[in-house]
Amino acid sequence: MFQTGCLLLLILASLFVQQSPKSFMVNHIQKHTTLFVPLVVDKASTLSRTSRKISNLNEFPFLNYVIGSDWAYSQAVNPFNIDTWKGDLSQFKSRIGKHITWHSDRLISPANSERYYDHVSHTMNIPPSELDDQHRLFRISGLGHCRGGDGAWAIGQTNVLSSMIRWVEEGKAPNTLFGRKYVNGSSRRHCRYPLRNQYHGSGNSSLPESWTCR
């Protein structure tokens, strides 16, 4: 597996060296179309656009497409029982478990975490106000893939862990996760889902006091 992965990376690297990024992507899209269009029966379901546009990745337009049958096959096979879409967390709840999820990514859509939160809420037939007793989701605006970004992205894993400890040991559930951007000193209190930050309309937008979770 490692050797295969390395070989693939070497091939991709050589392609990038031989071609400009733009020409490489154009050729890739053409090959993608050549391979899959003959298999298309219903473009709306077989070769379809993802539900949300991937921000800042317009230079990779082929990433906006998925093959509808792939995920269905993977879900049916479920190798090694890796399915992470189980909506019934009753056993976890019965043990008074606490769970914090934070998500922000330019590749892996945060909408997936929102959908999972809603999936658990619907499966267990409990509203977000009750689900929040065990499971809280925080969307970190402006954070890239694990680090960096245009927003107050530096939340610090120790801050998240401290929030979990206070929740479990002291019963103080977190309503926000504090983030900071080092370059310009801006900071933000990232809200728990489904609340979102709204600007007051006045004041310094780089200060967390100028925003409210609603």
Residue 49, pLDDT > 50, answer no
Top pLDDT among 154 and 34 is at 154
Residue 5, pLDDT > 50, answer no
Angle at 20 between CA 19 and CA 23, to 5 degrees: 85
Q: 116 φ, ψ to 5°?
A: -65, -40
191 C-beta neighbours (distance < 10 Å), count: 21
- Residue 91 is classified by DSSP as H
DSSP calls for 98-151: -EEEEE--SSS-THHHHHHHHHHHHHTT--HHHHTTTEEEEE-TT--SSS--SS
Residue 16, pLDDT > 70, answer no
CA 142 to the chain's CA centroid: 12
Predicted pLDDT of residue 77? 86
Using DSSP's 3-state secondary structure scheme, residue 82 falls into: coil
Predicted pLDDT of residue 158? 75
> Hey, where are the domains in the chain?
2-79, 92-213
